[in-house]
């Protein structure tokens, strides 16, 4: 006689960038084992790849494509998965640099949101007739071992991976049709003002966000801001 199959609750989560509703099951013991193995490897790249794999494993909708998510989409979905798979509460500790005391807090993962910039422009103009169309950093970066192992030129390499297209008048050049070296040469020949605008677009990208406000032992109001998965979870 075969062992029974267990039914799992289904949860609906909204993708922040598209507002699309996607259904997920909780992550199970097999996904928790993957995460534990990634933690034991002591490799941030392995952890990021595993986070992406867990989100993909738990998606119920057949048309869901994890590679089409922006990084902030992926991170928030993982937080929501953690919330309904394990516990909505995580405990964090913070050392106040003013009074040097350690404070313990609890964060409700349901309260974590994506913080969007007030104004953003994906179309970075070079001139009246030309420009670069950018996209937010993609979840594919979590599989990009070369990028994750970089020790310098981090922002330049990120820009290369976030170029969607280049245009001149009515002609559009899709970035995926060109080699890294060709795109790098194009960037290196841009004027400084345009390159600064591209950097600003990426630095102002949406991010997961949560804020804790408290009063320390000196009676001063203090604020802690969390804006990445590493802020919420101690991987090591």
Residue 2 resides in a domain = no
**Max Cα separation, the chain?**
72
Average pLDDT over residues 64-88: 94
Q: What is the DSSP letter of 169?
A: T
> How far apart (Å, rounded) are the C-alpha atoms in residues 137 and 131?
19
Strands 221-226 and 21-24: unpaired
Residue 3 resides in a domain = no
Write down the residue that tokens 């677009």 correspond to.
201
Residue 6 resides in a domain = no
Residue 53, Cβ density class (10 Å: 0-12 exposed, 13-18 middle, ≥19 buried): middle
Residue 131 resides in a domain = yes
Domain count, the chain: 2
pLDDT tens sequence across 86-144: 999 999 899 999 999 999 999 999 999 999 998 888 999 999 999 999 999 999 988 88
Within 13 Å, how many C-alpha atoms sit on residue 236's CB side?
Answer: 8
Tokens encoding 11:
């949860």
Residue 149 resides in a domain = yes
Closest CA relative to residue 25, chosen from 63, 57, 50 = 57
Residue 52 resides in a domain = yes
What is residue 236's predicted lDDT score, i.e. its pLDDT?
39
Residue 19 resides in a domain = yes
The whole domain housing 142 covers 123-203
Residue 230 confidence class, pLDDT cut points 50, 70, 90: confident
Average pLDDT over residues 65-79: 95
Q: What is the DSSP letter of 62?
A: T
For residues 191 and 100, membership in a common domain is answered with no
pLDDT tens sequence across 135-172: 999 999 888 888 878 778 889 999 999 999 999 999 99
Can you tell me whether residue 59 is helix, strand or coil?
Answer: strand
Tokens encoding 43:
């490799």
For residues 88 and 138, membership in a common domain is answered with no
pLDDT tens sequence across 18-42: 999 999 999 899 998 988 888 887 7
E strands along the chain, which residues? 11-14, 21-24, 89-95, 102-108, 113-115, 123-125, 130-134, 163-168, 171-174, 207-215, 221-226
Residue 54 resides in a domain = yes
For residues 162 and 215, membership in a common domain is answered with no
């Amino acid at each position: 006689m075969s062992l029974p199959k267990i039914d799992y609750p289904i949860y609906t989560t909204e993708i922040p960038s598209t507002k699309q509703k996607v259904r997920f099951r909780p992550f199970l013991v097999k996904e928790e084992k993957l995460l534990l193995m990634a933690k034991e490897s002591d490799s941030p790249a392995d952890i990021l790849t595993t986070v992406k794999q867990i989100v993909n494993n738990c998606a119920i909708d057949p048309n869901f494509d994890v590679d089409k998510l922006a990084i902030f989409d992926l991170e928030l979905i993982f937080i929501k998965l953690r919330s309904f798979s394990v516990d909505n509460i995580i405990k964090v500790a913070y050392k106040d640099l003013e009074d040097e005391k350690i404070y313990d807090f609890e964060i409700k993962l349901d309260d974590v949101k994506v913080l969007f910039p007030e104004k953003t422009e994906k179309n970075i103009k070079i001139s009246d007739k030309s420009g670069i169309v950018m996209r937010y950093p993609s979840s594919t970066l979590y599989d990009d071992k070369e990028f994750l192992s970089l020790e310098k030129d981090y922002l330049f390499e990120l820009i290369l991976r976030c170029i969607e297209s280049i245009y001149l008048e009515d002609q559009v050049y899709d970035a995926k049709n060109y080699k890294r070296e060709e795109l790098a040469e194009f960037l290196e020949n841009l004027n400084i003002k345009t390159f600064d605008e591209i950097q600003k677009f990426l630095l102002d990208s949406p991010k997961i966000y949560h804020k804790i406000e408290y009063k320390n032992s000196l009676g001063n109001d203090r604020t802690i801001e969390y804006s990445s998965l590493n802020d919420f979870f101690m991987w090591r």
